Amino acid sequence: MVHDSSPLPVFRAEGVTRVYKTGTVEVWALRGVDLRLAEGEMVVLLGASGSGKSTLVNILGGLDLPSGGRVFFRDRELTQASDRQLTAFRRDHVGFVFQFYNLVPSLTARENVALVTEIARNPMTPEEALDRVGLAHRMDHFPAEMSGGEQQRVAIARAIAKRPDVLLCDEPTGALDSKTGIQVLEALHEVNRDLGTATVLITHNAAIQRIAHRVVVLADGRVIRDDANAERVLPAQVSW
């Protein structure tokens, strides 16, 4: 799986810019980003705080629209899509994992996953998804009754239960200690390996980059590095 061998990438971003206007001040979060993500590929996105990582991933996931440039999901141009189409796009194709889990506190683990499987086209069962992240035994617990690592794994189960085409993870281990962080990375790794889900993983932790096929580094709204990893390691071999 080499990044540019595939004729039709999952994502293709061309000259993407994003300008935030707050009052009279303009902040250029992205200053022309070109990026491709191939089928089944796992990319780690690195960069200093404020370099535009979240902004880029939000645009890829259809949560935000760029100020300029074009973004394609397979053969569809997201930058032309309506709000309704973007919603359908997220529903059918994208799984999100965030730093703060974003679980619905009033629903149990199983119900949080079922939330998505009820509206997905070809989902796995909530039980299967939770089993994949090693949480079969905590299915009927509410988020408040679980540790951060467990909550994050529920979030991953929820993201993968619809069998998404891409998984977008914004600092999924940011709030976790290294041991639980590694469990979460293992879950992501297995999903990528077993289901072939293309994955973008934002992290501040340089150690994590070694589990990816490819590493992209942003600085000040631009891609300053885009390298394939010569060799990948398993999450279990990473430590920080």
Partner 1 sequence: MLRDLRRIWAQALAIALVLGCGIMVLVGAQATQSTLIQTQAAYYERHRFADVFAGATRAPEDVVQAAALIPGVAQAEGRISFQAVLDIAGMAEPATGRILSLPAAGPALNLPLVRRGRLPDPDRPDEVALAEPFAEIHGLVPGSRLRGVLNGQLRELTVTGWVLSPEFIYTMPPGAMMPDDRRYALIWMTDAAAAAAMDMAGAVNEIAVRLARDGDERAVIAALDRLLDPYGGTGAYGRDRQVSHAFLDGELQQLGAMAAFMPPIFLLIAAFLVNMVLGRLITMERAQIGLMKALGYGRADIAWHYLKLALLIGVIGVLAGWGFGWWIADAMIGLYGDFFRFPFIIRDWGTQALVISAILGIATAGLGGLRAVWSSLKLPPAEAMQPPAPPSFARGWADRVLTRIRLRQTTMMIFRSIIRWPGRAVITLFGVSASVGVLVMSYFMFDAVERLADSVFQQANRQQVTLMLAHAQSDAAVQDALTLPGVLHAEGAYAMPVRAVHGHRNRLTALQGHFPDAELARLVDDAGRVVEPGASGLILPEMLARALDIRAGQVLRLEMMAPPRAILNLPVAEIIPQGMGQEAHIAAAALFDAMGSAPQVNMIHLSVQSDRMDDLNAAIKETPAVAGLSDWAEVRRQFDATLSENLLTMVGIYTLIGVLIAIGVVYNAARIQLSERSYELASLRVLGFSRAEVGYVLVGELMLLTALAIPLGWGFGYWLALGLVGAMSTDMFQIPFHITRRTFALAALAVFLAALGSVMMVRRRLDRIDLATALKARD
Ligand X SMILES: Nc1ncnc2c1ncn2[C@@H]1O[C@H](COP(=O)(O)OP(=O)(O)OP(=O)(O)O)[C@@H](O)[C@H]1O
Stretch that binds partner 1, among 4-12, 54-62, 71-79, 222-230 (CB under 8 A): 54-62
Q: Does 36 bind ligand X (CB under 6 A)?
A: no
Among 8, 27, 48, 104, binds partner 1 (CB under 8 A): 104
Stretch that binds partner 1, among 34-42, 104-112, 175-183, 217-225 (CB under 8 A): 104-112
Would residue 221 be called left, alpha or beta, if left means φ above 0 and alpha means ψ between -120 and 50 degrees? left
The answer to whether the beta carbons of residues 143 and 101 sit under 8 Å apart is: yes
Among 53, 93, 213, 214, binds ligand X (CB under 6 A): 53
Stretch that binds ligand X, among 21-29, 101-109, 152-160, 206-214 (CB under 6 A): 21-29
Q: Does 54 bind Mg ion (CB under 5 A)?
A: yes
What is the rounded CA–CA span in Å between residue 60 and residue 22? 23
Q: Cβ of residue 49: shortest distance to ligand X, in angstroms?
A: 3
Closest by CA position to 133, among listed 151, 106, 107:
151
Residue 172 near which of Mg ion, ligand X, partner 1, none (CB within 5-8 Å, type-dependent): none
Residue 3 near which of Mg ion, ligand X, partner 1, none (CB within 5-8 Å, type-dependent): none
Write out the E strands in the chain. Answer: 11-22, 25-37, 42-47, 68-73, 76-77, 94-98, 166-170, 198-202, 214-219, 222-228
23's tokens: 């009052």
Residues that bind ligand X (CB under 6 A): 20, 22, 27, 29, 47, 49-55
